[in-house]
Amino acid sequence: MIKKIILLLGLPGSGKGTQGAILSNELALPHISTGDIFRKMILEESKDSKKLAEYMNKGKLVPSDLVNKIVRKFILSDECHKGCILDGYPRTLAQAEYFISYIDTKVSVIYLKIDDDVVVRRILGRIICTSCGKLYNKYFDKPNKEGVCDGCGANEFIARDDDDKDTILARIEEYKKETLPLIEYYKHKGKFFTVNAGKSKEQVVNELASIIKKI
């Protein structure tokens, strides 16, 4: 049986990717980010890549039957036998219901709460190291040495295809319509924690450190 599942909920740009990677390191649990999995599938031109890109580039959610099929395989793999940090899944009530049908572990939910205008500014500055995938922000969270990745020393960074303003606004709309109802849903299931994700990265890291002691 899978032992520990931590689910990160929050608007795009609320810090799920950054905090998920830190938690994964601290808890020695894999960080399963559906967005990262799908972006990799698109780059590798796998069977479903065209369909994934079609939705993602418009800021729309990928249909749940396809998402569920892909993610279930990851969560039930040996890599996740001790548990995992889930970032970006479940993202709709239908996905949450499907998830419960094959996972009987109680989940702990961390909700990274943040205002829309803050995430728009954050996402527009987001850049990623092409070599190791480390995330930065060209306004708030630059590499220590200009143009050089702190993680691997590479010097090439890109923005995500879906990080332009129109797509961000569409993703925020999708979040409000499809994902926000999950907050109420999970408040009554397992453990639920709310974090003020508008604070600095370090402050959020500290808050999460005290939360994981209670999980």
CB of 81 vs ligand AMP, minimal distance in Å: 22
What's the rounded Cα separation, in Å, for the pair 178 and 172? 10
* Separation of alpha carbons 99 and 73, rounded Å: 12
Q: How far is the CB of 88 from ligand AMP (least distance, A)?
A: 3
| Closest CB to ligand AMP among residues 60, 142 | 60
Nearest position to ligand AMP, beta carbon: 35
Minimum distance, C-beta of residue 16 to ligand AMP, in the bound complex (Å) = 7
Site residues for ligand AMP per CB under 6 A: 12, 34-35, 38, 55-56, 59-62, 67, 88-89, 91, 95, 162, 171
Q: How far apart are CA 48 and CA 67, in angstroms?
A: 10
Nearer to ligand AMP, 108 or 167 (CB): 167
- d(CA 183, CA 139) in angstroms, rounded, equals 30
Q: How many residues does the chain have?
A: 215
Q: Min. distance of Cβ 55 from ligand AMP in angstroms?
A: 5
Q: Which of 107, 48, 114, 44 is nearest to 80 (CA)?
A: 107
Residues with catalytic roles:
16, 91, 126, 160, 171
- What is the distance between the alpha carbons of residues 215 and 210, in angstroms, rounded to a whole number? 10
Bridge partners for 196 per DSSP: 113
Closest CB to ligand AMP among residues 49, 155: 49
The DSSP output letter for 177 is I
Q: How far is the CB of 32 from ligand AMP (least distance, A)?
A: 10
Show Cβ contacts of residue 61 under 8 Å, excluding neighbours closer than 6 positions. Answer: 55, 67, 91, 92, 174, 178
